[in-house]
A = this chain, B = another copy of it.
Amino acid sequence: MPDSTKKAIQHLRKRPIGLLVVISAPSGAGKTTIAHAVMKQVPDVVRSVSVTDRDMRPGEENGKDYFFVTRPAFKKLLSKNYFLESATVHNNNYGTPRKWVEKQVKEGKIVVLVIDVQGAEQIKKLYPGCVSIFILPPSMKELKQRLVKRNTETRESLTVRIRNAMVEYKFVHDYDYAVINDDLNVAVDKVTSILNAEKCRVLRWIERKL
């Protein structure tokens, strides 16, 4: 066996390959549900908890779903370059803590970022080796029904979310993978397969960078 191959295999065994994974979708397509389910199935997957200044929804937990901060606190973190990416969505701000993410990937973890298309664009520029997945709801009709059923939105916010979804759809072509979420289990299996497959990419053995 040539030394270079032997080295690659030894290296691979010693420390698993880390991945930075970006999952985006229009609101209501099920991206958060999918991310949680994938975390349960794939070892080494961790979900990055974003910082936001939006209001907490019923059932949400500070530090688990998001770190909830005030608008001035968010601005301060932003000015200190604390975030890997940040975005304003539906008039609220969201940001991903940079240092935590880089540390996890270096240690061989799979970090899943559930972020919107703006944030994803920033990440892809910074880390060309990231894996990007776009979740599609089965149809626009289904998407509306899910959002209404969730019952966490005012009528105004619902309209904004649906209008944004129409715009976000166009970005599917900028992602590596697209998964239609008409059956949650099937969608979760597909995302799981994508992560497992990406760990087998020869380029990742050689380069081993984010």
Binding site for B on A (CB under 8 A): 1-2, 4-5, 8-9, 12, 133-134, 136, 139-140, 166, 169-170, 172-173, 175-180, 189-190, 192-194, 196-198, 200-202, 205-206
* Extra pairs beyond A9-B136, A175-B202 (18, CB < 8 Å): A1-B139, A2-B166, A2-B169, A4-B170, A5-B170, A8-B172, A172-B202, A173-B202, A176-B202, A177-B201, A178-B200, A179-B200, A190-B196, A190-B197, A190-B200, A193-B200, A196-B197, A197-B197
* Copies of this chain in its oligomeric complex: 2
Q: Which residue of chain B has the shortest Cβ distance to A26 in the bound complex?
A: B1
Contact pick for A176, options B175, B194, B201, CB 8 Å: B201
B202 touches A134 (CB 8 A): yes
- Chain A, interface SS category: helix
Question: A4 vs B134: C-alpha distance in the bound complex, in angstroms?
Answer: 15
Q: How far is the CB of A68 from chain B (nearest CB, A)?
A: 32
Q: A200's closest neighbor in chain B, by CB?
A: B177
User: Given the complex, which residues of B lie within 8 Å of A170, measured CB to CB?
Assistant: 2, 4-5
A46 to chain B, nearest CB (A): 19
Pairwise interchain contact A172-B139, C-beta atoms closer than 8 A: no
Shortest CB–CB separation between residue A5 and chain B, in angstroms?
5
CB-CB under 8 A from A9, the residues of chain B are 136, 180
